Structure 1
Amino acid sequence: MTDHPYTDNDLRAEAARQHATLTDDPDLMGVGEQMEYAWVPSVETTEDGSARTWKQLLVVEDETGDDEDYTAFGEAQRKIHDLIQGAADVSEWAVSLGAAGLTRTVSMGWYVTGSGWDLAVQIAHLPGIKPEVCDEIESAVRLAVERVFREHGLVPRGLDTSA
């Protein structure tokens, strides 16, 4: 029995519920605010070696520098909003990982029948586990999933480890 009228599981359940609610109906304006000064991972760095933000990449100033065209930024903002809203609910899993002190390390998605992933697996571990152990586990999971697909007459057409 604890000093509180709730359990750790109650806390985790509420955190998962709120996490799911935040992703179920994200605030479009909030998405834009978070994008404005966030770095775009795939964009080459500028001449001085710094990365570029979504605003630097997509907002166009007119000749005077006074008026700005946010059309491309708004389009990306809506696409990101839709991706958040359409995401699989992994809230409980995410909260449980954090509570256990685990770190997400690798995601794998397999293409078998359609144009999108047919199966995805995400692996998380304690930060202290040796990289060679993690690599061996990742390889074992990948081989096991592909073996099961083949046993059922399905041939994986590709593996995406950026899943």
Structure 2
Amino acid sequence: MTDRPYTDDDLRAEATRQLGLRRQPGFFSRGIGNEMKEQIIPSTAVDLEPETGEPLEMGRTWGQLGDGDFGRVLHELAALMNGAADVSEWAVNLGADGLEPLGEQLTAHTQGGPWFRLHFAVRPDMPDDMRRSLVEGVALEIAKHFPSA
């Protein structure tokens, strides 16, 4: 028993709820809209830092768009985010377990679009060759169950 009046699971549940609040109607204009005005539109950056993709030189910001364009951006952004899977609990649990997502993912495509997509998360100290083996091993195992093209 700890001296805390809450558990680790309580903390994870609240963190999940807080992340989920970003999905509520109106958040885009109140929160995201205000926050993103100073952010550089990535495609307008003159040069990007190779490892992080962060702009090295200023480009055009979202706030420099006209009101009509910025309003359309917020509408399109809301549609993307509202249609996104709520992975808040997954994300909170990854962080609590000390795991970080890999950039690699496996996707199986059909004519109608992706059939499934697998994302991986590992400990930060996992060696690169082991990370690569994990992803490749899972891909090879799944490929055994697909008909030859």
Category of TM-score, reference length = shorter chain: 0.7 to 0.9
The percentage of counterpart residues that share the same residue type is: 31
Q: Report what 1:2 is aligned to.
A: 2
Deviations 1:47-90 (A, max 9, x none): xx61424427x62xxxxxxxxx2222221221112111111011
Tell me which amino acid in the other structure corresponds to 2:59.
R
Q: Report what 2:59 is aligned to.
A: 52
* Distance (Å, rounded) in 2 between the aligned partners of 1:26 and 1:130: 43
State the shift of 1:44 in Å. 4.7
Tell me which amino acid in the other structure corresponds to 2:57.
S
* Distance (Å, rounded) in 1 between the aligned partners of 2:75 and 2:15: 26
CA RMSD of superposed structures (Å): 2.4
Indicate if the aligned counterparts of 1:103 and 1:125 stay in contact, CA closer than 8 A.
yes
Q: Report what 1:111 is aligned to.
A: 109
State the shift of 1:122 in Å. 0.9
- TM-score by length of structure 1 reads 0.72
Q: Map 1:130-145 to 2 at 5 A.
A: 130-145=127-142
- Count of matched residue pairs: 139
- TM-score by length of structure 2 reads 0.78
Q: Report what 1:128 is aligned to.
A: 125
- The secondary structure found in structure 1 opposite 2:106 is strand
Q: Report what 2:52 is aligned to.
A: none
Q: Highest Rg: 1 or 2?
A: 1
* Distance (Å, rounded) in 1 between the aligned partners of 2:60 and 2:98: 30
Higher relative contact order (CA 8 A, sep 6+): 1
- The secondary structure found in structure 2 opposite 1:118 is strand
Q: Report what 1:93 is aligned to.
A: 90
Tell me which amino acid in the other structure corresponds to 1:110.
A
Q: Does the alignment pair 1:84 with 2:85?
A: no
Change (3 A) 1:72 1:109: farther
